[in-house]
Chains A and B, each alone.
Chain A
């Protein structure tokens, strides 16, 4: 079943064409990777999928509904959760609070509930707390530590836990392995596989081609804002257009 369907997506910044006619679809339950040389338009596409940018043209279907030109908070509600390349945690809040905020979109209590603390609100609050603790255990992070005091690897995992708290159908990761050493990358890979086994679809852009090829079910390659290849890691690795794009630019692995 198709979870995400992009048809002929284009994006212009002023006179600059960052993406043109990019079409791709992501199946439910798969790990889908997006690679490409610097400036190929990966981040632009990522930001369109997560609602931060709006596409200039094209169709955007998620879980059977149209989401053209919408806002990030609506996409989160629809089931797309994301992490950021340069980690954006709520730095002065605890790990627990960070994950609890992730539950916001799946809970309902309003001002009245907060002020009156009625039974329903208290029960919801308990559930939020329990789920947050559960997720923190899952990624192995101490609940009471303030986010900015966590180590780099822990901050990355906390961001994933926070995203998982929104009960996403699709988890979008923006260069999750950036700045990680080999051991950290290996444990990240294990974590991502575990998340997929839990039934969540993954979409990631990544510079670490080895990680992408070892992890993803399908991979797409962008170059100069166009999709030049798509398929299994094996097929993409041997695609002459891809080799050309990478070797032609020379500065990328």
Chain B
């Protein structure tokens, strides 16, 4: 039996309006308590959650190990960067003066489609083979994309090489420029807050899409493939096409997130898309629990914030203890990620969130029962 205050708390935690209010106030609270920099970190956390949810479709639902996921993020980011900056116009004198500057609602789906297309190109030859081939091909692709980005500055300067592309347009939606402080109801809403709300709404969309896919004919087919590919084929599931679909959808989500990233940063360069970023996103999915949306979100939040925590604790700690920095936080972070992958797989393959959640999900086939 629960007592009254506990009951009220329970009710509060399960009410949608509470969460909406909390999330809307989050950037202001963070700003007041921790400072402006942390709101920026929150923005990045949102991007990471989107990426992790995209990868979750590939790994969690369809059971395909994609180790070069960040490459699709890069495709999306460069897509936005090239169409939204003067770089193309300077590199190719024939094109439109000052760059093409497509509107946000055109670039975003274009970036998603392009990344999805790359996903199909890569998946088509490898998906008919066993899963570990896909893993190693995607691993290679992640690295190859970086080589191209680094070197496609000569003889034709497409990517501007290691310097990257700068002066990228900020995201503007119907004349609302997200890079400047906007007044609303007599309040001043800074740019980082605006981006937070933008990313929050996109994250919400990705969550919604993930949930709907999970409880659909397509989602069930993916899970069947994950569980037993031979049995799935015997049930009439075209395993190759459906795997390709999962791979392309994940890539498209990655591409869209990349476009958002480029608009937010105003600058892209190849070094943002290293193998370590792919590993970090994989780690989010594994840590939270493959195939479990809430778990993946938890993994995304934890791992996006962890490096900042390390930076703020490891450096002072070492300076206090040894008077110098022996282990830099960056490599410590990667060491922890690698360790987490091992420990999770060995001791908690279902992820951090307990299986109770999964069981509750199993208990309701809501979509079919209440239309």
- Does the CB pair B237–A73 fall under 8 Å? yes
**Interface presence of B221 (CB below 8 A):** yes
Count of A interface residues, CB-CB < 8 Å: 46
**When the two chains form the complex, which single residue of B218, B234, B362, B369 contacts A109, counting CB atoms closer than 8 Å?**
B218
Question: What is the CA–CA distance of A100 and B368 in the complex, to the nearest angstrom?
Answer: 11
> What residues of A have a CB within 8 angstroms of the CB of B238 in the complex?
73
From residue 102 to 152 of chain A, which have CB atoms closer than 8 A to chain B?
Answer: 102-105, 107, 109-111, 113-115, 117, 121-122, 124-126, 128-129, 144, 146
> What residues of A have a CB within 8 angstroms of the CB of B367 in the complex?
117, 122, 125
- Does the CB pair B249–A111 fall under 8 Å? yes
**Interface presence of B6 (CB below 8 A):** no
> What residues of A have a CB within 8 angstroms of the CB of B369 in the complex?
129
> What residues of B have a CB within 8 angstroms of the CB of A100 in the complex?
220
**When the two chains form the complex, which single residue of A97, A111, A126, A129 contacts B213, counting CB atoms closer than 8 Å?**
A111
From residue 299 to 331 of chain B, which have CB atoms closer than 8 A to chain A?
Answer: none
A183 to chain B, nearest CB (A): 27
**When the two chains form the complex, which single residue of A92, A107, A114, A126 contacts B368, counting CB atoms closer than 8 Å?**
A126
Question: What is the CA–CA distance of A202 and B228 in the complex, to the nearest angstrom?
Answer: 24
**Interface presence of A76 (CB below 8 A):** yes
- Does the CB pair B223–A122 fall under 8 Å? no
- Does the CB pair A128–B235 fall under 8 Å? no
- Does the CB pair A104–B230 fall under 8 Å? no
Chain B: interface secondary structure? Answer: helix
**Chain A residue with the shortest CB-CB distance to B350:** A92
Question: What is the CA–CA distance of A7 and B239 in the complex, to the nearest angstrom?
Answer: 29
> What residues of A have a CB within 8 angstroms of the CB of B183 in the complex?
none
> What residues of A have a CB within 8 angstroms of the CB of B224 in the complex?
90, 93, 101, 104
A128 to chain B, nearest CB (A): 7
Binary contact track B224-249/A, C-beta < 8 Å → 1, others 0? 10011011111111110000010001
> What residues of A have a CB within 8 angstroms of the CB of B216 in the complex?
109, 113-114, 121, 125
> What residues of A have a CB within 8 angstroms of the CB of B249 in the complex?
111
**When the two chains form the complex, which single residue of B227, B233, B365 contacts A129, counting CB atoms closer than 8 Å?**
B365
Question: What is the CA–CA distance of A105 and B218 in the complex, to the nearest angstrom?
Answer: 11
Question: What is the CA–CA distance of A43 and B232 in the complex, to the nearest angstrom?
Answer: 19
> What residues of A have a CB within 8 angstroms of the CB of B234 in the complex?
50-52, 72-73, 76, 81-82, 84, 88
**Chain A residue with the shortest CB-CB distance to B369:** A129
Binary contact track B58-82/A, C-beta < 8 Å → 1, others 0? 0000000000000000000000000
From residue 325 to 371 of chain B, which have CB atoms closer than 8 A to chain A?
Answer: 362-363, 365, 367-369, 371
**Interface presence of B212 (CB below 8 A):** yes
Count of B interface residues, CB-CB < 8 Å: 32
**Interface presence of A201 (CB below 8 A):** no
> What residues of A have a CB within 8 angstroms of the CB of B239 in the complex?
73
- Does the CB pair B363–A90 fall under 8 Å? no
- Does the CB pair B230–A144 fall under 8 Å? no
- Does the CB pair B235–A76 fall under 8 Å? yes
**Interface presence of A54 (CB below 8 A):** no
- Does the CB pair B233–A73 fall under 8 Å? yes
**When the two chains form the complex, which single residue of B209, B218, B223, B235 contacts A102, counting CB atoms closer than 8 Å?**
B235
Binary contact track A82-94/B, C-beta < 8 Å → 1, others 0? 1010001111111
**Chain B residue with the shortest CB-CB distance to A111:** B218
**When the two chains form the complex, which single residue of A84, A113, A121 contacts B231, counting CB atoms closer than 8 Å?**
A84
B128 to chain A, nearest CB (A): 11
**Interface presence of A249 (CB below 8 A):** no
- Does the CB pair B228–A88 fall under 8 Å? yes
**Chain B residue with the shortest CB-CB distance to A146:** B362
> What residues of A have a CB within 8 angstroms of the CB of B230 in the complex?
52, 72, 88
B242 to chain A, nearest CB (A): 9
- Does the CB pair B209–A115 fall under 8 Å? yes
B66 to chain A, nearest CB (A): 18
Instruction: Tell me which of B217, B221, B236 has the highest count of chain A C-beta atoms within 10 A of its own C-beta.
Output: B236
If the complex has contacts A144-B363, A146-B362, are A114 and B218 also in contact, measured as CB distance less than 8 A? Answer: yes
**Chain B residue with the shortest CB-CB distance to A147:** B227
**Interface presence of A155 (CB below 8 A):** no
**Chain B residue with the shortest CB-CB distance to A107:** B217
A108 to chain B, nearest CB (A): 8
- Does the CB pair B236–A77 fall under 8 Å? yes
- Does the CB pair A114–B212 fall under 8 Å? yes
- Does the CB pair B365–A96 fall under 8 Å? yes
Binary contact track B242-276/A, C-beta < 8 Å → 1, others 0? 00010001000000000000000000000000000
**When the two chains form the complex, which single residue of A72, A104, A166 contacts B220, counting CB atoms closer than 8 Å?**
A104
If the complex has contacts A104-B217, A104-B236, A117-B212, are A90 and B227 also in contact, measured as CB distance less than 8 A? Answer: yes
| Other A-B pairs beyond A73-B239, A121-B216, A124-B217, 5, CB < 8 Å | A51-B233, A73-B234, A76-B234, A109-B216, A144-B363
Q: Sample 30 A-B pairs with CB under 8 A, ordered by A number.
A: A50-B234, A51-B234, A71-B233, A73-B238, A76-B234, A81-B234, A88-B234, A89-B231, A90-B224, A91-B228, A93-B224, A94-B362, A101-B221, A101-B232, A101-B237, A102-B235, A104-B220, A104-B235, A104-B236, A104-B237, A107-B217, A110-B218, A111-B249, A113-B216, A114-B219, A125-B367, A128-B217, A128-B368, A146-B362, A162-B235
| Minimum-distance CB pairs A-B, first 6 | A105-B236, A76-B236, A114-B216, A129-B368, A90-B227, A88-B231
